[in-house]
Every structure is written in C-alpha cells, then in structure tokens.
Amino acid sequence: MCSRMVNIGILVSGRGSNMEAIIKKIEEGYIRNARVAVVISSRRDAPALEKARAHGIEALFIDPKEFWKEPNPERREELRLEYDKRIIAELEKRNVDLVLLAGYMLKLSPYFVRRYKDRIMNIHPSLLPAFPGLNAQKQALEYGVKYTGCTVHFVDENVDHGPIILQAVVPVYDDDTAEELSQRILEKEHEIYPEAVRLYIEGKLRIEGRRVKIKD
C-alpha cells in the first residue's frame, strides 16, 4: 500500500464523465492517498474542463494546433512529440505520478509512453482486443456480438493495446441503438475505471508481460 499522496494527471478531449467518476471516488474517500493535480484537454471546448474546475481542480487546454492534419508523416510525428512534451512539462511541474486517459482522443508519442512507462491507463468502450479505435460501440453493433463491454488497460505504444487491468461485460439487445449501448457500457466504465485506479494506488497491480495480476 502506498502511503504517500499519488498525484494524478488526467488527459481528456470531451465530456469528461469518466474523469468525473474518478474525481468523485477520490472525494468520497473510496480512492485514498490520491489527488487530481491537473486535467489537460486537447480541445478548447471540452466540457471536461469546466467539470474539473467545478471540483476545484486546475484544468488546462493545450492547443494541439491540429498537428494530425500535417500531410508529411515524419513532420507529423515531430509535431506530436512537441505537443506531448508540452503536456509532459505541465505534468512534471505538478509531480504527476499516474496519467489517466479519459476520452483522450490523441495517440501518445512513444516518448510519452516511455516517460510514464506502466504509469498510464486508458479506458476503452469494448472488450479489447475486439473493436479498438473509434466508435467501438457502433463496431460491436455492426459486427453482431451478443456481449460487449469496456476495458481499462495500461497504455503501450499501440492504440488500445496494452496489458488489461479490468474488464466489464454488458449484453447487446436486438433493438439497441448505438446510443443505448454506449450508455449501458458507460455505466460500467464509471465502475471499473475508479476501481482500477484504486488498485493501482493501493499497490495491488503487478504487470507480468501482457498479464496484470491483481493482489487481493
């Protein structure tokens, strides 16, 4: 069990409901010895920014200047790295120990992943390795699976790929719309993401290759 305070940095791009679920579990004392030191958004208009501030948390927009539109792949990766270094500088200023991606829609550079090796988590709305990438809920509906869910995993250099910490399963109904299915999955996201953070902070996660062992 860690007894010192763990500083968390949360990266967001949109609504911020997972971010808020984690903040609430800290406020309620379910996650102890942790504080959200900063929230950083890749989008100026992300509702997550105001939500974080409403909880008294510092929230910054760092402008990516649409670097992904750069046509030259090498230059694009340089711009990604520059952007990630600006984020890392803010995280370092606040001694962030653990980085949480919560609806953060940009791929991290290998530099970022190495800098916070085994200290970055992500949530994805499918049972990985099924349906990585965008619109995972729609992908699940179109594929015709009977069950889908969500996954919290450590982040490695590939998108939606690193070692899996927790998953939750939800049924898919015949008449589901993508919105209904997304909502059913989201309720589970709000349970397993704070739980994964708690397990990490209590020192209960051990990564062995692709497997994450959970100490009880």
Binding ligand GAR (rule: CB under 6 A), the pick from 26, 59, 64, 103 is 103
| Nearer to ligand GAR (CB atom), residue 9 or residue 125 | 125
| Per-residue x/- track, 128-167, ligand GAR (CB under 6 A) | --------x-----------------------x-------
Nearer to ligand GAR, 160 or 195 (CB): 160
Neighbour order of strands in the sheet with 120-124: 59-61, 34-41, 6-12, 98-101, 120-124, 147-154, 164-171, 211-214, 205-208
Among 17, 41, 109, 148, binds ligand GAR (CB under 6 A): 17
Piece of the chain touching ligand GAR by CB under 6 A; list 14-22, 57-65, 108-116, 140-148:
14-22
Which residue type does 150 have? C
Whether 161 sits among the annotated catalytic residues: the reply is: no
Q: How far is the CB of 137 from ligand GAR (least distance, A)?
A: 8
User: What amino acid positions are annotated as catalytic residues?
Assistant: 124
